[in-house]
Structure 1
C-alpha cells in the first residue's frame, strides 16, 4: 500500500475518533503515557500549549468575557496560565479568570478536497457542535478559579506578561482546555493601544456580547456570544510535569500555523508530532508548542501596519523559544516568505533578500539556541514551485535561492539535525512540486493530509 493511502486512512480514522469523543469522552489521568519518566516527586513547569503573539487594532472589548479554547500536548497535575499585554500601551485589567476542561463536542469532518486556485482555497468549517456556541461548554467539576498572587483580579502593564497562580487540575494530554477571563473595562485601540492576539487559531473560541459582564464561571456561554478563530491575550498554558519532561518549540510561518487547514481539526504538524510522542510506550514526556505565524520571515518584520503585526523569527526568538517554559528543543521551519517577498509584482526592492541573508539568520538562531543549551533542528523549505498564493510573484530566480538554502540546511552541519520537510511533501515524479494529495491547491500550503504527514516525517528518536 502506498504511503499516501496509509496517511489518508490515518486521517480518516482520526476524524471518526473526534466524532466518537463527542459522545464518549476519554479522559487520561495526569502522568498517563509517561512510562518510566513519571519521576519520584521531582517535577517542573513546562509548556503544554502556546502561541505566537501579534498586534491588532481591529477589535474592542468592554465589560465582556472571553473563553479561549486551547489544545494541550502534555498532561500534568497542576496548571497555570500566562496572559500577555505584549503590544498594549495601557494596562490590561483582568477582573476574573477560570480554567476548565472543555466538555465533549462533535466535529463532523467532510474530508479535504484538492481545489486548485486562484483564489486561495480555505476549507469550510466542519459540521458538529464544536464550531457553535454549544462548543463553549465546560466540564463543571473541572472548573477552577485562577488567581494572581492570591487575588482574583490583576493588571497587566504594557509589554508585560502575568502568570497566574497554579491550581490543582488533572490535565490530560491532547485535550481541550477552556481559559475564560473577564475584561471589566474598555480595552481597545484608542490612545495608541494595540490588542495582543494570535490571528489564525484555526480553533473556535468565544467572546460574549459587549456589556454581558463576568461569565467566567458559566457552564456554557449564552446566546449572543460571538465566535472567533483568533486567540486573544493568552500566550501560554503550563503544567507541572516530571523532571525528565522536555518541550519542543516549532518556530515557523503559516505552514507551521496550518493557515490553510480545516477549523477545529487540530491539523497542525506540531499537533501531529505531539500525538505521536504521546502514543509511544515509555517515551520521554514532551510538550510541543506551536509558534508559527502566517507570513513570517527569518529576516524582515512585517512592513505593513500595525507595528508588531508579525515579528520575524529572529525578532521573536528570545520570547518564543528561549523563554518557553521547559524548552529543550526547537524546530525551525522559516524562509519561504523571505523569498516570496510581497506583491503583486514587482517585488519591493527594499525587502528583497539573498539566500545568504536567510542563512545568516539561521546562524544567529543556532548561536542563541546553543547558548541557552537548546538543541536546534533545521527544517528544509517545503516545495512551492509555481506557488499561486496571495500576492505571490513566483520566479525561477527565487527557486534558485530556495535550492541554495535547502542545500545549506542539509549539508552545513550547523543544525543539530535536519528534518527534510521538502522531501516529505515532494512529488516523487516532480520533486520541485508538492504531491497533489498533500497540496491545499495553492502549491505553497499543505492540505490537512499534508500537515499530518509532516508530523509523521519527523524522527522521534531526536527527542529521547
Structure 2
C-alpha cells in the first residue's frame, strides 16, 4: 500500500482471459510478514461484489469489490486471498511482482495459514487496491518497463524506486495524501507488444483508469531502442526513424493525458551499454542521447526527471555507475533504485504548479 485509510476495495482483473473467471470467495487481511502465508486472523475480512460473495468476471474486463472496513496504515502490506472455481486457460497476472504468492488446492481463503503451500513470485488477478481517504488525495501513476517494475530489486523488500518515492511522500505532511500506482511491466515497449501490451495500447487502462490520477511519470523507451539492433546492426536511417517514432509516442501520451487533466512528467532513458541482452553499439547510444535531448527540451513534457543523470557513471556516461548496477548493465541495483526514488523532486506534485 502507499496511502493508508479506514476502508478499501480490490480490483480483480480478467483482462487477458478468454472465458469468464469465477471467483467463489475472496478475503483480505493483514499478513504476519511479507514472506509468509500466515495472516492475522483478527484482521480477516470477506469481500463481496454487489453484495454477493461470488463474482463472475467476463473475459477482457475487471471487477471491483464492494468497499470493506479494514484500517490500513500507509506503506503497510495487505494479503488478498481468493478461490477460483476452476483454473483459467489463460491467466491474467503480473510475473514481475517481486512479491511472493502462495497457493493450495481447495477453498482456504479464511485460513490463518496455508498448509504446505506452493509459492511463486508472481501476482495473479489482483490489479489494483483503492483506499478510502481524505478529500484532496491523488494518485501518481508510474508508467514504465522492467526498471519501474523492479527487476533487480529485493523480492518482498519493497525497494523499487516507486516504493522509495511513496515512502518519501508519506514522510511529509504536505504530500502524505499522494499515492503511487506502479504500472511497470517487464519488457514493455512504447511501440510494440512484448511481455505485456505496448504503452500506447494499455494507456487508458493503466494510466487513466486508476482512481484519482493527477500525474503520470513516463519512463519508457529503452526496450524500443535496444530491440532495434539486438540481433544485428541496422542502417542509420532505421535508427533515425525509430527515434522519430519514439518521440511521436511520447507526444501521443502527452496529448491523451492532457485531455484528461493530467500533468505528464518525462523521465530520461538510463544507460545500458554493456548489456548482454541488447549489446548496444554507437548508433543505439546516439539514439538514446537524441531521445533524452527531446525529453529534456522545454515545452515537451510538463516536467522532467533526469534518471539518466542519476544513474550514469561520470567516467563512462553511456554505462550505469557500478554501485547502481544490478550486474546486467541494464537494470539498477537496490542502491540504484533508492537513488532514483530519492532524486524525484517532490515539488513536481505541488498542486500550485
TM-score normalized by the length of structure 1: 0.72
State which of 238, 261, 264 in structure 1 corresponds to 2:153: 261
Once the two structures are TM-superposed, the CA of residue 149 in structure 1 deviates from its matched residue by 0.7
Q: Which residue matches 1:178?
A: 79
Residue equivalent to 2:212: 326
Task: Name structure 2 gaps, 5 residues minimum.
Answer: none
Q: How far is 1:429 from its partner?
A: 2.4
Could you tell me which of 94, 119, 136 is aligned with 1:227?
119
- In the TM superposition, what is the alpha-carbon distance from 1:362 to its structure 2 partner? 0.2
Is 1:137 the counterpart of 2:38? The answer is yes
Matches within 5 A, 1:13-412: 72-104=1-33, 130=35, 135-185=36-86, 187-189=87-89, 194-208=90-104, 212-223=105-116, 225-302=117-194, 309-341=195-227, 345-346=231-232, 354-388=242-276, 390=277, 392-412=278-298
Tell me how many residue pairs correspond in the alignment. Answer: 347
Contact 1:97 1:179 in 2 (8 A): yes
SS in 1 for 2:250: helix
Deviations 1:90-140 (A, max 9, x none): 1000000001111136xxxxxxxxxxxxxxxxxxxxxxxx2xxxx111111
Helix, strand or coil: the match of 2:175?
coil
After superposition, the C-alpha distances for 1:397-423 in whole angstroms (9 at most, x for unaligned) are 111110000000001421110000000
1:345 shift after superposition: 1.8
- Aligned pair in 2 of structure 1 residues 435, 181: CA closer, same or farther (>3 Å)? same
**Distance of aligned partners of 1:368 and 1:214 in 2 relative to their CA distance in 1, 3 Å threshold:** same
- 1:145-168 per-residue CA deviation (whole Å, 9 max, x = no partner) reads 000111101100111111101111
- Does 1 or 2 have the higher relative contact order (CA < 8 Å, sep 6+)? 1
The answer to whether 1:439 aligns with 2:335 is no
Q: Distance in 2 between matches of 1:342 and 1:177?
A: 40
CA 1:341–1:347: 2 relative to 1, 3 Å: farther
Would you say the 8 A contact 2:285–2:318 is kept in 1? no
2-structure distance, mates of 1:402, 1:282: 36
The residue number in structure 1 matching 2:309 is 423
**Unpaired runs of at least 5, structure 1:** 1-71, 106-129, 303-308
**Alpha-carbon shift at residue 220 of structure 1 (Å):** 0.9
1:413 aligns with 2:299: yes
Instruction: Provide the alpha-carbon RMSD of the alignment.
Output: 1.6
Separation in 1 of the partners of 2:71 and 2:43?
9
C-alpha displacement of 1:265: 1.1
| Contact 1:341–1:348 (CA under 8 A) maintained in structure 2 | no
Give the distance between the partners of 1:344 and 1:337, measured in 2 at CA: 10
8 A contact 1:246–1:284 mirrored in 2: no
The 1-side partners of 2:233 and 2:106 are apart by: 48
TM-score by length of 2: 0.95
- Give the superposition deviation at 1:262: 2.1
Aligned-pair CA distance for 1:284: 4.5
State the distance in 2 between where 1:251 and 1:331 align: 6
| CA contact 1:244–1:284 (8 Å) conserved in 2 | no
Superposed CA deviations along residues 55-81 of structure 1, whole A, max 9, x for unmatched, are xxxxxxxxxxxxxxxxx0110111100
Aligned partners of 1:213 and 1:255: how far apart in 2? 36
Tell me if the contact between 1:196 and 1:232 (Cα under 8 Å) persists in the aligned partners.
yes
What corresponds to 1:53 in structure 2? Answer: none
